[in-house]
Structure 1
Amino acid sequence: MKNFYTLLLVLTSFISYSQITYKQGYFINNNGEKTTCLIKDMAWKNSPLDFEYKLAENSESITATVNDVAEFNVDNSYKFKRFNLDIELSSNYVDKLDVTSEPAWEKKTLFLKVLLEGDLDLYQFEDGNIVKYFYSADDKQTATQLLYKKYVVDGMIKENNNYRQQLFNLMRDRINTVNRFKNIDYKKSSLTKLFSEYNGESNNNYTLKHNKSKITLKFTPAVGFTSFAFKNAVNKTYNFKMEPSQTYSIGAEMEYTLPFNNNKWSLFINPSYNIYNSSYKNRNYNVETDYKFLQVPIGVRYSMFFNSDSKVFINGSYNLNFLTGNSKITYNNSELEIGKNSSFAFGAGYGFKNYSIEARYILDHSILGPYTVWTSEYNSLNVILGYRFL
């Protein structure tokens, strides 16, 4: 297993080193001067306070802040504009809700992500779970927040939906149906659709080039190289190390790619049916292990893309293991119960188009039932083949 950890360390270092991607862009400084440069593409989820750029491919990286730059654009995809504005920063988390519908305005200097440009511009501010939307009209030098706030009155959650009235007042010269605004959600998808409808031919939708979440499905057969040992703390003669053997599994993986940081992060669940059989013999004992289980890893994955077809990745997961069938350990005329258990795993792999191969190491864990004197160590290095069919 030492070689596996070495491989994992090398891949992690390589991925970390290779992630610095600079793309063509520009920024405008406080004097209105435009500089064409290479900007580090972070595919931002949260609104940044600074960014890194290079004047040439081999030059040193420079950091520019919100105090230095009025606007910057990366690859004509992610565009941010600076505003001095009033912002209401209330959270939608139930345990953090305010007790009044009135906004508590704060003066801030912020980069807002440009979602749409046209006769009316739409912007987004995001910081963790706080997401706020703004618009600009006329000279586009100011940004006004579309006000939405959850609050609590007498233990009941209520909403200040003032943004709907704001939208009607803004757009009634072209969209004069009140019902069009009555139930519109305070969400990016709903607001971009409405602003696009209002802007018509003047509309420039940056969100079409932003990272999108997606779900993929894989078929994942695997073979594992497994070690298993168990012993009794009282009777030292009961110390058994099974012959190394193989496990076989068949499973499927669902992966959800997160819509930020250039789709490098994803979540996955990879249930599989596994069979492990092994034996141990000496002059005194004949030991047999029969272990059938459903393993359900739930994990996070980080990918580094060489191009649209090729990537390497690392992942970590927490595995829930459920018994199926009659799983047990027998030694001579005695029997031990195998119990429901859990484990941690780390993996590294390579993907090409619809295919992938991964080495995933399942760390030592006990598979025995609730015994006080019996302990066990079970680990496995699995080679997982993947075929993406959706």
Structure 2
Amino acid sequence: MKHLYKITACILLCLPLYCFAQSNYKPGYIVTNNGDTVRGAINLREWENSPHNVDFKTATGVKNYKAKDIRGFGALNLAYQQYAGPVSTDETNISRLSTGRDTSYKLDTAFLQVLQKGPSITLYAYVDDIKIRYFIADNRNNLPFELIYRIYHIPDRGIDTHLENVFVSQLYGLAQKYNPNSDELKRLIEQTGYNAPDLKKISEMINKMAYDTKDYGTNSSVRFFAGAGINITRLKPSGAFPFYNPATLTSVNPTLSGGANIYINPNVGQFVLRGEILFTRDSYNTVADVYFNQPEKPKSQYRLTQYIAVFYPQLVFNAYNTNDFKFYLDAGLALNFSKNKGDELYNGYTQVTEKHYLNVNSYWINYPLKVGIVLNRKIDISVAYIISTSITNNISSGSKTSGDYSLNLSSILAGLHYNF
């Protein structure tokens, strides 16, 4: 069992990082500069910023297209359109605002992501390391332009700021053109913030769409799961333990768990936020020599059983990511809440039972590292190594013993989950 712990720890800690370059091709298309649509597969990425190029695969091979080479591309629910023109570079982060009005810009050629599209206008997003910007286009000319929002410190006024909501008048002009009789639309424009939900609602109304049910691939997705497994727990004494030559013990117990996976970008599925609740138990029952090798005094018996509920938030990275098979790495934080039964020593010499002998904690934190595979998006098989942590608090006045020692818990969790 000791070797199993070492092997598992090495696998989890030393997995190669080359998997971060794993491709993620999804059925899609490109639109050439001549207006032709070519079907194939798009290599979707977890783009933090607006992409400037994209890999496109057909039967003849893979080709990388820059934004200047094609009008746009799409895959699954995502759609991107070519843009070449000015992009504002003034800061809107409140901690980095300029003093005075900043009208600086850069010229860029990139792909804008479609957020909402109707018969009259299309709303887009452009993101870089500075900020997120929203663009809009009149579908009659299909020329996107930036919706302008500025905020800056007023010179000689300390931290006082001034807002320039130029985008309000820009939206109002389109509303007058395509939906001039809607008083509700005018009211919404006057009250809108510079954010995707507000702007998408206004775009829908300018397009005279009561509610756009189309999924543009911008929403997160949640899937629930449930499962079971085994918990191989190792409890190892260390330091000046109150037993002579204390034993390291391993116990094997079942687990039950359930939770939810939140896919940050469900079309890509590379990164997943996972919340899990797990139930298990462990035990430490041993013969104890509390008189430290005095043969004339009988041995004692120590007993401990823990019933544990674990709240387990995790970040999952699908290193190999296809619809039929995924291989993932997982790191998280385990918050353990334990109902302790026992923590008592029956002294074979005095024939007295002493409770709270080691003062075992009812709460502790440890740090699991996990690897797993997902088959056909449904079956999740995983193994996790939980790094050793102390579960005793012998400094407390409630302890029957004191000293520099601890009872350390580490474990291997193997689980099988079903994704609904």
| TM-score, normalisation: structure 2 | 0.74
- State the match for 2:316 in structure 1: 301
Aligned residues: 379
1:85 aligns with 2:85: yes
Quick one: distance in 1 between partners of 2:266 and 2:90?
23
Q: Check conservation: 2:76, 2:267, Cα contact below 8 A.
A: no
d(CA) in 1 for partners of 2:275, 2:259: 6
What SS class does the counterpart of residue 136 from structure 2 fall into?
strand
Decide whether aligned partners of structure 1 residues 126 and 22 sit closer, same or farther in structure 2, where only a CA change above 3 A counts.
same
**Structure 1 partner of 2:94:** 94
Query: What residue identity is the alignment partner of 1:252?
Result: G
**1:73 deviation in Å?**
0.8
Matched residue type, 1:286: Q
Aligned match of 1:53 = 56
1:185-209: CA deviation from partner (whole Å, max 9, x where unpaired): 33323323332333359x9x89624
SS at match of 1:136: strand
In 1: Cα distance, 2:304 partner to 2:91 partner: 53
Is contact 1:223–1:249 with CA below 8 Å preserved after alignment? yes
TM-score by length of 1: 0.79
The Cα shift of 1:316 comes to: 1.4
Amino acid at match of 2:219: K
Query: CA distance change for structure 1 residues 53 and 221 in 2, over 3 Å: closer, same or farther?
Result: closer
SS in 2 for 1:81: strand
Give the share of equivalent positions with the same residue, in percent: 16
Q: Does 1:335 align with 2:353?
A: no
Deviation for aligned residue 1:244: 1.3
- Pairing of 1:341-360 with structure 2 (within 5 A): 341-347=364-370, 348-350=372-374, 356-360=380-384
Q: Provide the rounded CA distance (Å) in 1 between the counterparts of 2:279 and 2:42.
A: 46
Q: Give the match for residue 106 of structure 1.
A: 105
Do the aligned partners of residues 305 and 63 (structure 1) sit closer, same or farther apart at CA in structure 2, a change above 3 Å counting? closer
- What SS is found at the alignment partner of 2:215? helix
RMSD: 3.9
Query: 327-336 or 47-56, which moves further after superposition?
Result: 327-336
Task: Quote the Cα distance in structure 1 between the aligned partners of 2:130 and 2:391.
Answer: 39
Offset of residue 229 of structure 1: 0.5
Aligned counterparts of 2:255 and 2:139: Cα–Cα separation in 1:
62
Most deviating of 235-244 and 290-299: 235-244
Q: 1:314 to 1:48 in 2, by over 3 A?
A: same
Larger of the two Rg values belongs to structure: 2
**1:26-175 correspondence runs (5 A):** 26-28=30-32, 32=34, 36=38, 38-42=41-45, 44-54=47-57, 56=59, 59=61, 61-66=62-67, 68-75=68-75, 77-100=77-100, 102-111=101-110, 112-115=112-115, 116=117, 118-127=119-128, 130-137=131-138, 140=141, 142-151=143-152, 155=159, 159-175=163-179
Cα distance, 1:148 vs. partner?
A: 2.4
Give the superposition deviation at 1:162: 2.5
Which residue of the partner structure matches residue 236 of structure 2?
Answer: 229
Letter in 1 for 2:109: L
Q: Which amino acid aligns with 1:119?
A: S
- SS in structure 2 at match of 1:259: coil
Where structure 2 has 5 or more consecutive residues not aligned to the other structure, the ranges are 290-298, 348-353, 396-402
SS in 2 for 1:191: helix
Distance 1:301 1:43, change over 3 A: closer
Query: 1:252–1:270: 8 Å Cα contact kept in structure 2?
Result: yes
Maintained 8 Å contact 1:247/1:276: yes
Summarize deviations over 1:297-319 as a string: whole Å, max 9, x none: 221113455537x7554321111
SS at match of 1:172: helix
1:219-243 Cα deviation digits (max 9, x unpaired): 444431111111224x796442333
Give the match for residue 265 of structure 1.
271
Which stretch shows the higher mean deviation, 106-115 or 246-255? Answer: 246-255
2:368 is paired with a residue whose SS is: strand
Displacement after TM superposition at 1:77 (Å) = 4.4
Q: In structure 2, how many angstroms separate the alpha carbons of the residues matched to 1:274 and 1:169? A: 62
Name the amino acid aligned to 1:106.
Y
Superposition deviation, residue 130 in structure 1: 2.2
Alignment match, 2:406: 375
Partners of 2:76 and 2:378 lie apart in 1 by 29
Instruction: Tell me which amino acid in the other structure corresponds to 1:382.
Output: L
- Which one-letter code corresponds to 1:361 in the other structure? Y
Please state how far the C-alpha of 1:40 moved relative to its aligned partner. 1.8
Inter-CA distance 6–63: structure 2 relative to 1 (3 Å threshold)? farther
Unmatched tracts of structure 1, length 5 or more: none
| Alpha-carbon contact 1:25-1:74 (below 8 Å) kept | yes
